[in-house]
Amino acid sequence: MSKSLKWFSALFFLLSALSGVSAQDSTQPVELTIKVDPDNRALTVSADISKSQMLPEMRAFSIQSSYSRSVNSIRVKDFQAFDENGKEIAARELQPGEFLIRGKASSIGYSVDLAEPADISKKAHASWIGDAVGVLMLRDLFPDLKSPVPANVKLLLPAKWSVSTSAKKAPQGFYRVEDLDNSIFLIGNSIRSQTSTADDRKISITISGDFLFDEADVLEFSGSILRSYRSLFGSRSDNSEIEIAIVKVSNAAGRWEAETRGNTVLIVSGDMQFEKPSRQRLHEQLRHELLHLWIPNDLALSGDYAWFYEGFTVYQALKIGLAENRISFDDFLRTIADAVDLTSDMQREPFVGASKRRFSGAKVYAESLLIAFLCDAVLMEKTRGKRSVADLLAAFYRQHKRGANSSEDGNTAAVKLLTSEPELKAISDSYVTGSRQIDLRPALTVFGLVQVRRTGNTEFLLKAKPTKRQKDLLDKLGYNNWRKVRKDRK
């Protein structure tokens, strides 16, 4: 049997074993033992699935590769599957992507090569093992599961290596994982962990590498940001421990990538040259990623609607940065101007369906950021600043919070939200379900701003003589926040 066939047989087996169980049996955990070998950038997996319903004698499945497998060259070899008597089970490939396993399996085992990717853009979204640190995402090691699958996971690490995770400790050295899809383990021989409380929630902070900020900064910023979001959205349905893991990478000054799965925020980042911009960058990272604990992680929505939640959360995170005086109003406008420049040469497509290109670039989210700015201007102009995009996102969260309603397609829900008011419907029809080029002039007029080009870049300037209403709305947008914050601190 070829190595590739063994890998896909493993995927087939585990997928069918996990997705084919009854509703009653689906809550039975899979027992995983993972042995990490940093020297060879590899690990071995042993899985006891005897508590799950067995496979039929013969059954075919189609396996779809996940994002991380397609970009990170994750390779699985030496796959073996055994029945309850310890006898190996035969498997064969029907056609590319479809596989067949004969008999019922009770356990499986295989090894996985996890070389560290050179590109920082991949390090926050896939499993890898380096010299002194590694990231394990259980979703990478198994097929695309059709529903949440619990597991008891034991990690066998080399001497002086430790692990940090939001998963709860279980008896006999295991960690209890409620959903393999949302599980992240940070491992390493020099990671530093600190557990504290922020916004009345237990929070664990783990850092690998030396930054110009420290754990106290992470805790201070996280507490302030979490309070802001809880004030806006209310409490999350899952109030268990939040894990923030930050990994430093070399040769990546100013660059960062992040992923928030379940209750874990993973940030992979280079550092800045000086302390102040380093702390500002940290606040930016946390503003965006902690918002994902609410949207989309705590929503009962299905499908890929990242075009909505990525762009709109970036915009809301910018406004939180303004409110807390972490960025200037010029920074705020510059980010929107950068989005204009990034998308200026794009052939527009309707947003619905565009999320399939999530990891091919940031242009889709830059467009979404511009849509959020348009919606903010419309809502603020209509209500004289009493409502904004923040209220729109809060209503979206309350309507689709886990446990509030049955699951709905995220794209459908987002379009419904944006067509809930006549003024927003025009924006949605033109730019979300339609493909017109985005025109910011209506939003700029609301705030008394004009768009110009200087040295090849877009800039926004204040009109020479804005009206009183434009001044009022500009103030509510955040133009004078720095004065308000300074006054409050006196």
Would you state the pLDDT for residue 144?
54
Share of the chain above pLDDT 70, in %: 82
What is the second-level CATH architecture of the domain 191-294?
Answer: Orthogonal Bundle (1.10)
Q: How many Å apart are CA 353 and CA 360, to the nearest integer?
A: 14
* 141-179 per-position pLDDT tens digit: 775 556 677 889 999 999 999 999 999 999 999 999 988
* CB of 35 closer than 8 Å to CB of 109: no
Would you state the pLDDT for residue 389?
97
* 412-428 per-position pLDDT tens digit: 999 999 998 888 999 99
| Per-residue burial over 316-331, b = 16 or more CB atoms within 10 Å of its CB, e = otherwise | bbbbbbbebbbbebee
Would you state the pLDDT for residue 320?
94
Q: How many Å apart are CA 327 and CA 463, to the nearest integer?
A: 22
Both tokens of residue 184?
């992240």
Q: How many Å apart are CA 461 and CA 464, to the nearest integer?
A: 9
Q: How many Å apart are CA 263 and CA 279, to the nearest integer?
A: 23
- Nearest Cα to 126, choosing from 144, 140, 112, 113? 140
Q: Which amino acid is at 205?
A: I
51 pLDDT tier (thresholds 50, 70, 90): confident
1-5, 240-244, 376-380: which has the highest mean pLDDT? 376-380
Would you state the pLDDT for residue 348?
85
Q: Which amino acid is at 386?
A: K
pLDDT of residue 239 exceeding 70: yes
- Calculate ∠ Cα 55-58-60, nearest 5°: 95
Would you state the pLDDT for residue 268?
97
- Nearest Cα to 142, choosing from 182, 175, 172? 182
Q: 365: Cβ–Cβ under 8 A, 6 or more apart, which residues?
A: 306, 307, 310, 311, 314
Q: For the chain, what is the mean pLDDT? A: 83
Q: What is the DSSP letter of 432?
A: I
Kindly list the distances between the CA atom of residue 287 and the CA atoms of 81, 257, 290, in Å, as whole numbers in the listed order: 45, 14, 6
| Per-residue burial over 194-230, b = 16 or more CB atoms within 10 Å of its CB, e = otherwise | eeeebbebebbbbbbbebbbebebbbebbbbbbebbb
pLDDT of residue 58 exceeding 50: no
* 285-308 per-position pLDDT tens digit: 999 999 999 999 999 998 889 999
| 296: three-class secondary structure by DSSP | coil
pLDDT of residue 184 exceeding 50: yes
Residue holding tokens 């406004």? 319
For the segment 198-223, the average pLDDT, to the nearest whole number, is 91
* 424-468 per-position pLDDT tens digit: 999 999 999 999 999 999 999 999 999 999 888 999 999 999 999
Read off φ and ψ for residue 310, nearest 5 degrees. -70, -50
Using DSSP, how many helices (H) and how many strands (E) does the chain show? 14, 23
pLDDT of residue 76 exceeding 80: no
Domain 1-117+136-185 of CATH type 1.10.10: no
Both tokens of residue 22?
């009854």
Domain boundaries, the chain: 1-117+136-185, 191-294, 301-489
